[in-house]
Amino acid sequence: MDNPRRAAILKVMDFDTDIAIVGGGLNGPTLALALAQTGQRVTLIDAAESGPRAVPGFDGRSYAMALTSVRLMQGLGLWEALEENAQPMLEIKVTDGRAGEGPSPFFMHFDHAEIEEGPMGWMVEDRHLRPALLAAVDAESRIIQRNGARVVAQEPDGAGITLTLADGGTIRARLAVGADGRSSGTGRRAGIKRVEWAYGQTALVCAINHELPHHGVAHQFFMPPGPLAILPLTGNRSSIVWSETTENAKRINALPDEEYLEVLRPRFGSFLGEISLAGARYTYP
């Protein structure tokens, strides 16, 4: 006589992977590597097709990495390769004022010499970080990559979870992790709700070349419409995160490059000499 519990028992035992991670940006591959190094079998699912592993030209994207993030990269065995192209932030200066008038004489100053851990943080460009992560994922035998695959359904049960892909295939895992961004389909299907509200601000993001060296100093300049962050990159370059009202940001971002710079210059000041754009421009959100 057939055991009516046989199908359920087999379902519990039959896993394609230990952990399925949905999302192949930066967080998904980082988590996949950390889990694989503990012996877990991981399937990394990314809706995007596999991208180039070679380092492309600089496109303006970079990330500020605090000490904890650097330690994570060290633990994954990636920091040695990243450090040679990373810019340490040795000081942070916080001021306020108005565009064209310069900063207030009163400011906050943080110096890495006052702490034991070293630099206040590091700036790492996307063109170095992303290929390093993907190369490490490629080399890890415990990670299976499913590029160009989109999850359309998920069915959790008492033993694990079954993910259904757009092509009709399924992946059975003990655990699923949603690393698929702020509009996470994984979170939506799980019934995870969010509360959102608008601040009426948009960040204009770019990178610039400048004549004078920054000496590893990061600046945060608070103005009435929003703050301007100047974050040092390698060489005479800096990353800019410039917050404006959403209406102003939309108008500024629509300008040609030179007119865009004309709006930025009185906010940035002349302390690093003449500036020019390096790479593409972005807005967030």
Per the CB < 8 A criterion, the answer to whether 281 and 61 are in contact is no
Q: Are residues 156 and 271 in the same domain?
A: no
CATH number of 255's domain = 3.30.9.10
The domain of 239 spans 90-119+197-284
pLDDT reported for residue 59? 79
**Domain co-membership, 163 together with 96:** no
d(CA 129, CA 62): 9
| 59 lies in some domain | no
Give residue 156's pLDDT: 96
Same domain, 212 and 258: yes
The percentage of residues in the chain with a pLDDT greater than 70, rounded to a whole number, is 93
Considering the domain architecture, whether residues 231 and 263 belong to the same structural domain is answered as: yes
HSE (side-chain half, CA atoms, 13 Å) at 10: 5
Q: How many domains does the chain have?
A: 2
User: Which among 225, 202, 203, 222 has a CA at the least distance from the CA of 93?
Assistant: 222
Specify the DSSP element, H or E, that contains 13: helix 6-13
- Ranking 43-47, 191-195, 208-212 by mean pLDDT, the lowest is 191-195
Evaluate whether residue 240 is within a structural domain: yes
- 214 shares a domain with 113: yes
DSSP string of 154-194?
EEE-SS-EEEEETTS-EEEEEEEEE-S-TT-HHHHHTT---
Domain identity same for 205 and 103: yes
Average pLDDT of the residues in 150-169: 96
In this structure, the answer to whether residues 238 and 275 fall within a common structural domain is yes
In a domain? residue 40: yes
Shared-domain flag, residues 25 and 153: yes
pLDDT at 116: 82
pLDDT band for 128, please (50, 70, 90 cuts): very high
Is the model's pLDDT at 151 over the cut of 70?
Answer: yes
For residue 194, pLDDT beyond 90 = no
Give the least confident one: 51-55, 188-192, 194-198.
51-55
Residue 270 has pLDDT above 80, yes or no: yes
Residues 227 and 176 in one domain: no
254 and 277 assigned to the same domain: yes
